[in-house]
Structure 1
Amino acid sequence: MGKQSIKSKDLSKLGYRHDVTRGLAMNLAARHFKHVPKEEILAQLQDVLLEPKKYLQHPALAPLALKLAPPVTTQPFETFDLKPESAPLKIYGAKEIEVIAKKQMELALRLPVAVQGALMPDAHAGFGLPIGGVLVVDNAVIPYAVGLDIGCRMAMSVFNVPEKFLQTNAFQLKKALKEFTHFGIEGGLDFAQEHDVLDHPDFQATSLLRKLHGKAVKQLGTSGTGNHFVEFGALELLEQNTLGLPAGTYLALLSHSGSRGFGAAVAKHYSALAMDLCELPREAKSLAWLSLDSEAGQEYWLSMQLAGDYAQACHDRIHLNLAKAIGEKPVARVENHHNFAWKEVSGNGQELVVHRKGATPAHAGELGFIPGSMTTAGYLVSGKGVADALFSASHGAGRRLSRGRAKESFTMSDLKKRLSGAGVTLIGGSTEEHTLAYKDIDTVMQAQHQLVDIHGKFLPKVVRMHKE
């Protein structure tokens, strides 16, 4: 836009009559068109006002187009029956997957919109879709198949420091995790967090997103409960790795968490809306969908994308804060979403929606990280692009025991012995995350050797989790 910025009066002259659309237009112009001449962006904003439908898929202006011309179709209430037969399903590591998870996946594949599915070797029972389930549908999105923790992701920073750093600076690493991370539903960090995502214009796109902005500000840079963690450890990079670093052992920082209360509120709102609009048989009601041609479907899609960006921002802050705390700069970063939906083109050229609930995207050459447990290895991987697996891999080792059963089966005394034996220091945590509550990570990796290449092995050393 050069030296001149778009003003409210400029937009009023174009015909923008409402404060919300004027504010959204100004935010989008400032964010995405910084170097575009003022006359050109004003001409484009006028075109959006005149023909908003043309811009509903525009990478920058879609939120404004959605405000100016919500889709004319509202999803009517409908009752659906399940198909008698499931759509095609490919299972990896079937021997290690419980029957209930397979049944959940087969049920999802009987939805009228279902096209294809896959189960990863870490799969276990979940809500709606099983964890480790990948579901492809046509022109729809299923909020409960994305999950409550929208955009949950892994992020790893690699530091080029000697291996002995982990031993000689163990106290410093533990102190950094205590002071610069926060876990749990309540509260936040004791110092202000900043990130461009908080200024994202999509926070103004719906009344729900506007209400959730304050929660997003408060929880930025924090982690949740359950299996979310932040940990330092040793990354052993193989000779042939895609990070462009020499083979050897590096200090690495690994985090696992998602979009916090913001994402959970979006998931609950649109899951309830989908169930109000799409009535399914009782056993499948949580798999209700929103049509992508409907206003609700487009609102959820926009909100899901923003929740994913927010989850990434939380990891950005975690890694920035901890890197500063230990006085080191990372030489590489690897991250990947799960609990998300993507628009992907099938082999016959049809655009479909791929839900990965607890599954790692694994297109050819795509980097990702697959963790084990707090005392076992995790793996830096790249995808092999296997179509039968829906270009996916596992997102971890996968639970062998539910959290309730783990609590009943293990004691803190036993957990401490296992931590000591593995040379791991744990801050917080509980028996719910006991290493024996998880499947054997190496068995899981062997079951998906067709899906990913391994580039490095990570061993946790100082781990922080939520204390129940």
Structure 2
Amino acid sequence: MTSPERAQLPITLADTAAPVRMWLPPEEADSAAVAQLRNIASLPWVHGVRAMPDCHLGIGATVGSVIAMRGAVSPAAVGVDIGCGVAAVRTDLVEEDLEDLGTLRSAIEAAIPVGFAAHEEALSSRELTRLGARGGLEEFWEGFSALPESVQKREKKARTQLGTMGGGNHFAELCVDDRDGRVWITLHSGSRNIGKEVAEVHIARAKGLEHNAQLSDRNLAVFLADSPGMDAYVRDVQWAQEYASRSREIMIGLFQDAVSQHWGARGREVRFDMPVNCHHNYLSLEQIDGEDMVITRKGAISTRGGDLALIPGSMGVGSYIVRGLANPDSFYSASHGAGRKMSRNAAKKTFTVSDLAKQTEGIETRKDAGVLDEIPSAYKDLHAVMKYQSDLVEPVAHLQTVLCVKG
């Protein structure tokens, strides 16, 4: 795919109520996603919308969208997997050290519950400390009592799912930096079922509010500022975001454990550095164009502060470690990944298990019907996505997948 000239991007959609700017060539933009972006921009509270190069149709709000609102927030603009995001850490291993990856994959799958699975018991404070997780976990759990009453009944499940990966597009990978051969651990996960339940409670509440009755898409229902509904939503979503962040931190520790034991049995001590942990489905309160606003990123990362972040591609394609360029034009944001170009059902109908095996050749991973919807061809070209946002992030490393654990 040919990269566009830099002067072409971003483009501004014509005739929108609030400005919509896209880091994607018009000919590659899905018409349904563009219509959805226009609809979002029609909300009276919206200051502006930014669409990342991986954007595609979502429920209510477009995946790959960044929305700045005055005095309101739409739960659909965060989505149901609150706090979904990525983490990474570099090892001092190099490609030549890699061996017996099938055994290592089995060890990772045994250490990190995937799919609908959870830990048999919540991990103890001693175990979490050993894994390098942050302290203050009991103080964090005190916030659970403020969540919706229907959600509080799920506390045991939430505790045992902390530090578990889930399914879908979530993964744990071992990757190699194609420049220096250094081996990285990468991870993609969210807030599990507890975040989904929090989101669904608030989406239903927002849909029932009178000021949302005339919306063309009730999925875009909003809470208004200084209302009990908005205060409760912001509080609960921030709790779920913290849950997701802590969960990734724990899984990175479990992954490091598996790696250390794998090479420790061979007399090799492994060291880790350059940790990354960031959300890409979340809200924050930020200054945009000199005003305090609610910013929702649904499939987008923050580039404020120039911190390191991870932008993954599809299963087996790898990822980019990037540094944010803090471009205010994008509301200080960049893409969260490659982005899907076809639905899961379409992928299952289009491709076969044989296609999956060919497209993941040389990678230690599942190659069965259970992950067929995650086949690389169901996703956009990650390298093109990176070129389209060259003014938003600076690539630090391109990581090629050698091992992938899926739910």
Displacement of 1:210: 3.3
What is the distance in 1 between the residues matched to 2:154 and 2:44? 33
**Which residue of 2 is the match for residue 176 of structure 1?**
107
- Residue-by-residue CA offset, 1:219-243 (whole Å, 9 max, x unaligned): 1111122111111111346xxxxxx
| CA RMSD, 1 decimal | 1.8
Which secondary structure state, in structure 1, belongs to the residue aligned with residue 326 of structure 2? coil
What is the distance in 2 between the residues matched to 1:85 and 1:417? 44
User: Is this contact kept in 2: 1:124–1:399, CA < 8 A?
Assistant: yes
Among residues 54, 66, 90, which one is paired with 1:134 in the alignment?
A: 66
Identity %: 32
User: Is this contact kept in 1: 2:212–2:222, CA < 8 A?
Assistant: no
Displacement of 1:279: 2.2
What is the distance in 2 between the residues matched to 1:171 and 1:127? 38
**Which residue of 1 is the match for residue 231 of structure 2?**
298
Displacement of 1:205: 2.1
**Which residue of 2 is the match for residue 215 of structure 1?**
157
Displacement of 1:146: 0.5
User: Is this contact kept in 2: 1:197–1:309, CA < 8 A?
Assistant: no
What is the distance in 2 between the residues matched to 1:190 and 1:231? 24
5 Å matches for 1:309-348?
A: 309-327=242-260, 328-348=270-290
Which secondary structure state, in structure 2, belongs to the residue aligned with residue 283 of structure 1? coil
- Residue-by-residue CA offset, 1:38-72 (whole Å, 9 max, x unaligned): xxxxxxxxxxxxxxxxxxxxxxxxxxxxxxxxxxx
Q: Which amino acid in the other structure matches residue 222 of structure 1?
A: T
- Residue-by-residue CA offset, 1:89-120 (whole Å, 9 max, x unaligned): 11111332211111101101101111101100
5 Å matches for 1:130-279?
A: 130-166=62-98, 168-185=99-116, 187-190=117-120, 192-194=122-124, 196-197=136-137, 199-200=139-140, 201-208=142-149, 210-236=152-178, 248-277=180-209, 278-279=211-212
**Which residue of 1 is the match for residue 339 of structure 2?**
398
**Which residue of 2 is the match for residue 450 of structure 1?**
391
Instruction: Normalising by structure 1, report the TM-score.
Output: 0.75
Q: Which amino acid in the other structure matches residue 361 of structure 1?
A: S
User: Is this contact kept in 2: 1:173–1:232, CA < 8 A?
Assistant: no
What is the distance in 1 between the residues matched to 2:327 and 2:296? 16
Number of aligned residues: 368
User: Is this contact kept in 1: 2:148–2:198, CA < 8 A?
Assistant: no
Moved more, 334-343 or 174-183: 174-183
Displacement of 1:199: 4.1
Instruction: Normalising by structure 2, report the TM-score.
Output: 0.86
Which secondary structure state, in structure 1, belongs to the residue aligned with residue 118 of structure 2? coil
- Residue-by-residue CA offset, 1:277-306 (whole Å, 9 max, x unaligned): 142445321111112311121111111111
Moved more, 406-415 or 287-296: 287-296
Which secondary structure state, in structure 1, belongs to the residue aligned with residue 123 of structure 2? coil
Which secondary structure state, in structure 2, belongs to the residue aligned with residue 226 of structure 1? coil
Gaps of 5+ in 2: 1-14, 129-135, 261-269
Displacement of 1:163: 2.0
What is the distance in 2 between the residues matched to 1:153 and 1:341? 13
Among residues 373, 381, 384, which one is paired with 2:322 in the alignment?
A: 381
What is the distance in 1 between the residues matched to 2:94 and 2:337? 27
What is the distance in 1 between the residues matched to 2:305 and 2:89? 22
1:425 has 2:364 as partner:
yes
Moved more, 273-282 or 118-127: 273-282
Among residues 408, 417, 441, which one is paired with 2:382 in the alignment?
A: 441
What is the distance in 2 between the residues matched to 1:121 and 1:207? 35
User: Is this contact kept in 1: 2:68–2:288, CA < 8 A?
Assistant: no
Which secondary structure state, in structure 2, belongs to the residue aligned with residue 373 of structure 1? coil
Q: Which has the higher contact order (CA 8 A, sep 6+)?
A: 2
What is the distance in 1 between the residues matched to 2:42 and 2:154? 35
- Residue-by-residue CA offset, 1:3-37 (whole Å, 9 max, x unaligned): xxxxxxxxxxxxxxxxxxxxxxxxxxxxxxxxxxx
**Which residue of 2 is the match for residue 111 of structure 1?**
43
Which secondary structure state, in structure 1, belongs to the residue aligned with residue 334 of structure 2? strand
Displacement of 1:364: 4.5
Displacement of 1:165: 2.4
Displacement of 1:251: 1.6
What is the distance in 2 between the residues matched to 1:97 and 1:197? 43
Q: Which amino acid in the other structure matches residue 395 of structure 2?
A: I
1:175 and 1:191, CA in 2 relative to 1: closer, same or farther beyond 3 A? farther
What is the distance in 1 between the residues matched to 2:163 and 2:406? 14
**Which residue of 2 is the match for residue 26 of structure 1?**
none
**Which residue of 2 is the match for residue 79 of structure 1?**
none
Which secondary structure state, in structure 1, belongs to the residue aligned with residue 272 of structure 2? coil
What is the distance in 1 between the residues matched to 2:169 and 2:347? 13
**Which residue of 1 is the match for residue 11 of structure 2?**
none
Displacement of 1:132: 0.4
Displacement of 1:461: 1.0
5 Å matches for 1:59-78?
A: none
Gaps of 5+ in 1: 1-83, 238-247
User: Is this contact kept in 2: 1:124–1:131, CA < 8 A?
Assistant: yes
Q: Which amino acid in the other structure matches residue 62 of structure 2?
A: P
What is the distance in 1 between the residues matched to 2:394 and 2:88? 17
1:305 and 1:90, CA in 2 relative to 1: closer, same or farther beyond 3 A? same
What is the distance in 2 between the residues matched to 1:97 and 1:375? 24
- Residue-by-residue CA offset, 1:117-149 (whole Å, 9 max, x unaligned): 110000011111111011110122211111000
